[in-house]
Structure 1
Amino acid sequence: MNHKTTLFLVRHGQTEWNVQHRFQGHQDSPLTDLGVKQALWLGESIQNAHVDIIYSSSSKRARRTAELIKGSREISIIESDMLREINLGIWEGRNQQEVKELYPEKFYDFWNNPEVFNVQGGESFKDVSERVISKLNQIIDKNRGKSILIVTHTVVVKLIMAYFEERLMKDLWNPPYIHPACLSKVEVMNNKFEIILHGDISHFKEENSES
């Protein structure tokens, strides 16, 4: 029996630290008013799509986004530490400009050579990919034939989509850009993947004001 499994993959809405261009990683900051709206717009745009279960990163910004998308629907939200953002160690809470000045080579690697990037107290992209893809496959195995919403973070969305695309790690940051509360949709059947949407923001009702 062939069952199609549908994945809706979402980045959390805009946060205060996104606006301040701070690295968040395992740390957290609240959604902005716009971030809340972004999540609500997405919830509205997929309100007629059937969703069986929601998995969320255990970071509050992702959990809050998941709750806003869910709205009044009766759907369970399961939190997982394995869906958290890349741990950025000593960079967390720091402004990107400051990090660029203090650690120019590592900052360059983060955006241009993700395959060699490392930071004190943090994870490599490979570390994150391993934990995230293992969790993703667990989720798919457990929910075959269902429709699953996963609310997580930029690097995690990038790595999951790279896995489906067989994109090389060195090309990780190539477009599309993963905006806050953007939607990617992937259908899985017989271990074959079809990407339907990737970084879609057609549900936005105002100009996106975050780079």
Structure 2
Amino acid sequence: MTGTITETNTNTNTGTKNDLFLIRHGHTEGTSQKIFYGSTDLALTTDGAREIRELRDQGIYPSADHACLYTTGMLRTEQTFRLIFGDQPHGTIPELREINMGELEMAPLEKVMEHEPSRRWFNGETDRFDFPGGDSTETFTRRILKGSDKLMGIMKNAPGRDTILVCHGGVISALMELYFSGIRNNTWKWLPEPGHGYEISFRDLAPVDFTRI
């Protein structure tokens, strides 16, 4: 693992330690072609799968040994998981699936920019969104909180063990905003590149620092 600790709590040497790894899936048709999507169950592209294998061979990912392993159950997260960790048994946390873009699912960026509320969110002018027929800030946040509660329950029941979740860019951004609310980053500042993510250290289920993967 390599990276830079950006936020550190001074009381990191006491309490039960758990590390949570959030890994974004590899490139899909959507990420490669700048198509707006979230709930559409896209597969990895050939190049996306190759990039994940290259990152795996570089040794950037954590070991699955003795770790609690999860995906969101979507095809792109399952494929990414298998490329990194093979056929390891794992669970799913569907609450941590990507934002549902509703009527803007699979829309090109040009069309998204024609929808003023989405344009403002996409450009980082506001942290609120409300996609017609899809998620709003409120519905997505409620779902993320439920998913985070599940992660906390997993770590509580497995003290000292790593938890690894292969999930989505928007979800990772939302979780980082939740866990490190004292850092004034907008959603896009937290967004990792496909195949990358964060290692978050918890003490007694409280997040104390993180490292970029």
Q: Distance in 1 between matches of 2:197 and 2:121?
A: 27
Q: Label 1:56 to 1:197 Cα distance change in 2 as closer, same or farther (>3 A).
A: same
1:99 aligns with 2:112: yes
Percent sequence identity is: 23
Q: Does 186-195 or 84-93 show the bigger shift? A: 186-195
Matched residue SS, 1:112: coil
Matched residue SS, 1:54: strand
1:204 is aligned to none
1:117 aligns with 2:123: no
Q: Label 1:69 to 1:124 Cα distance change in 2 as closer, same or farther (>3 A).
A: same
Deviation at 1:153, TM superposition (A): 0.7
1:155 is aligned to 170
1:130 aligns with 2:142: yes
Q: Distance in 2 between matches of 1:38 and 1:54?
A: 21
* CA-based RMSD: 2.4
Q: Deviations over 1:139-195 (max 9, x none)?
A: 222333221111111110000011111158x84235244100112000111232123
Deviation at 1:81, TM superposition (A): 1.8
2:197 is aligned to 183
1:67 is aligned to 82
Q: Distance in 2 between matches of 1:96 and 1:31?
A: 20
Q: Distance in 2 between matches of 1:83 and 1:129?
A: 10
Work out which structure has the larger RCO, using CA pairs closer than 8 Å and 6 or more positions apart in sequence.
Answer: 2
Q: Distance in 2 between matches of 1:59 and 1:49?
A: 20
Deviation at 1:56, TM superposition (A): 0.7
Q: Distance in 1 between matches of 2:202 and 2:49?
A: 30
1:142 aligns with 2:157: no
Q: Distance in 2 between matches of 1:83 and 1:39?
A: 21
| Structure 1: gaps (5+ residues) | 201-211
**2:121 partner letter:** D
Contact 2:77 2:166 in 1 (8 A): yes
Q: Distance in 1 between matches of 2:117 and 2:155?
A: 42
Q: Label 1:38 to 1:54 Cα distance change in 2 as closer, same or farther (>3 A).
A: farther
1:85 aligns with 2:105: no
| Structure 2: gaps (5+ residues) | 1-13
